Structure 1
Amino acid sequence: MLRNHSIIKYLFNRELSEMYVSIALKDLSLSMIGIFVPIYLLVDLKYSFSSVMLFFLFYSISMLFSSLLAAKFTSKYGIKHGILLSMFGFIIYITLLSTLHYHNLYIISAVIGGISNTFYWVNFHADFIKFSDHKNRGREVSMWFIVAYIGLLLGPIMGSIIITYLGFTTLFIIVNLLLLLSSLPLFFSSEVYEPMKFSMKYLFEKSYLKDTFVYLMYGVRMMVGGVALPIFLFFLLNKYLSLGVIASFASLGAIIVGYLVGRLSRDENRERTMFRFGSLFHSLGWFILLFVKSFIQLAVVNIYLAISFIFVDIPHHSIFYSKAKRHKSVMGYIVYREIAADIGRIFIVLIMLLTGKLIYSFIINGIGMFFWFFL
């Protein structure tokens, strides 16, 4: 576990504590619907698989083209206002989702959702980089993940219960209220601004190629884990509650392991070692997933994927933040990373759209994670 004085130190860093509370509420709210959105479109609204993939394709394309816009907004109006704007965007996105029974504006919903997601993460990353401490960044990232996973632990099981007994409309209303609450803690301190200088050459320069590959595959991993995996699990389990239970147990495992990773994250070399070996073990889980059949097997493999990814994800963010801090433009590096990840998202959604199969996304994701070991 993290030592007590370290935990107290992080919680009494005013800006970081605001972010911890904000992201816990935000992740609690969005995790109540996040894994269920593709299922909602497929099962409740009876959209075709192609239509669902088109939804996430436009979502990803919107993220790609709004990265620069989000950074420019932050430079002029500030990080906290960027996050607040994203929350209102999420509320519009969720409201449109909840009313899709009455209209067919699912592409508009996807576009608003993608833009909102970009505005949130571009500003969150900028805020975290600004106020985190280089010597303790790995532990501070670990604390963020632990707090966030508490929300992710409760969200899926709460969401599945609400869907089962009260329906999607009630769930959407609750999520909107929590999203509004999540933005309030950020305004207990003054606004901060981050200037932006960005060049597309970052994506193609030889010195950035390894980083570009890592960020591309990170985008692939996020889309496979957030879209393909929930669909795969639901059609094997055929119950919202079972899917929510598995997701919550996976989050519990991630919380426990997050303490260990935080304690081990003492320097960048150690973080790189965890990242490399974590990606190797994580890649194996995606190949094992191809052969599971029963609820127990699905639960075990999903928990394994969540735990092994913590060894990847915490070092990944800590290293990313350190690189951004050393870069001549913090916001420019954030935008570069987001654009690379969005290209990865678009790529893997196109694979699923063109093939009509989820299995290829698991294989590509597993291969990509495997090659991270050699970086």
Structure 2
Amino acid sequence: MKLSLKQLAVYLSLVVIGGGAGLLGSRYLLPQSYSFRQLKNVTVAPPVDPVVPNSVNGAVGSPGGDNVNFIANAVQKVGPAVVRINATRKVANPISDALKNPLLRRFFGENEQPIPEERIERGTGSGFILSANGELLTNAHVVADTDTVQVTLKDGRTFEGKVLGVDAVTDVAVVKIKANKLPTVRLGNSQNLIPGQWAIAIGNPLGLDNTVTIGIISATDRTSAQVGVPEKRVSFIQTDAAINPGNSGGPLLNAQGEVIGVNTAIRADAQGLGFAIPIETAARIANELFTKGRVEHPFLGIEMTDLSPSKKQQINLENQLNIQPDAGVVIKGVLENSPAKQGGLLPGDVIQKVNGKPMRTAAQVQKLVESSSVGDVLEIEVNRSGRTQSFKVQSGAYPHKK
């Protein structure tokens, strides 16, 4: 049976579209809370004891009932400020490239209508409103490669949103809609989270608007390498609250209904695990994107990993090094022409202190470097072959892919 070029295109399109569906929308406590404007000037808040919520007895209009608990209260506070973001973009059509092969053209004829070189790809994600005048925060991968998106509020109103900035390094993006007197979220604090505390996620997973899931904080300070996205520069919050495609960009809340993180569905194979960008990181990046349109990240140019006796033995054997300590943060690699290379750091150095602060994990080093500014000089104390040495490294700007 001889297939026409159009029939082949239909069959191949079904395969390609089925495999790429939802690409845009997936990938992936302080008692006092802050507004977005206030948090712009907040760096690190002091730790406080976590608050364990009690159920709120009695729904409105139902004396003595038990229909409203802290989860419902949190959702009632934040739900109106959570939005759906629909994005469209043009992507290269692989079918078109494949059918340019002269051998295939011989089989299906030269007179068939050519396949378009581009196709429209649609995706859905989530976001939340930071300010009453229409400043929104979402994930970078939700709005990647597009300048405008459709923003739908919980009350049904729809606006055209302008993408003002995207930072792929942290997976944070900001959008502006023309509106006033909008509901907003309250920003909490993620610096003192403890595994086991409540975590509430709101978003639009799989196109199901305003879906609420609940779980606990499973872990904090998960490095990008641990999560499986080494190209990112984030210490993630890990939660077992269900985060599915479409949840990306939605808020992760504490028991008081304050935003402590930005959900990001960055691991398609994650089952029972979700990850969120800490709100301090997201708010700082959002502020820079709103004011400058881009973000410069400090960059040293080292590959790090947490050290253990077995890992020390393995690295020494594989790289012919002489690492002495059994614990700490070991430099596995140093990029050529990087600030670290110019500053004198070498593979096998075990980082002990940065600017006088003891470093025990790669996450601590990453967080300290990320909190500095491009051009800052960092004093890094290392153990090199059993001897303590200090080096001054001036950070550069993270190289963006062109």
- Higher relative contact order, chain-length normalized (CA < 8 Å, sep 6+): 1
TM-score (norm 1): 0.25
Normalized per residue, the structure richer in strand is 2
Larger CA Rg, structure 1 vs 2: 2
